[in-house]
Amino acid sequence: MGEQYKNCDVFVLPSHAEGFPNVILEALNHELPIISTNVGGIADSVINNHNGFIFERKDKKSLYNAIKALGSSQEMRETFSKNGKEILRKRHNFHENCRLIFNVFKKPE
């Protein structure tokens, strides 16, 4: 599946319902700007007009405008890609996230 990301300039997820999809992390890891609906926990990692575009479910016009904006601006794609990599590093650090999870289950002293 990773090979498919290498052939992309933008990742689009127009989903109607999600929790937090792993494909968002995969797209961030492959430095892709993201266009996605504002469902589930997606907005925690996709910040509108920073590393992608967020739009409301069934809003076809916003989806179209986001695709058009990113499709016509290599500079915007490069900026969003760089910003996305930073979000991945700050918010989804494997070791830090494991530490936080383990602390939830840690026995009180």
Q: Are 78 and 31 in contact (CB under 8 A)?
A: no
We find that the CATH architecture of domain 2-104 is 3-Layer(aba) Sandwich (3.40)
Share of the chain above pLDDT 90, in %: 68
Taking 80 as the threshold, does the pLDDT of residue 108 lie above it?
Answer: no
Give the whole-angstrom CA distance, residue 16 versus residue 101.
28
Q: Are 101 and 37 in contact (CB under 8 A)?
A: no
> Tens of pLDDT along 46-63?
999 999 999 999 999 999
Name residue, tokens 């700050």. 90
Specify the pTM: 0.84
Q: Are 38 and 58 in contact (CB under 8 A)?
A: no
**Residues with Cβ within 8 Å of residue 44, at least 6 apart in sequence:** 20, 91
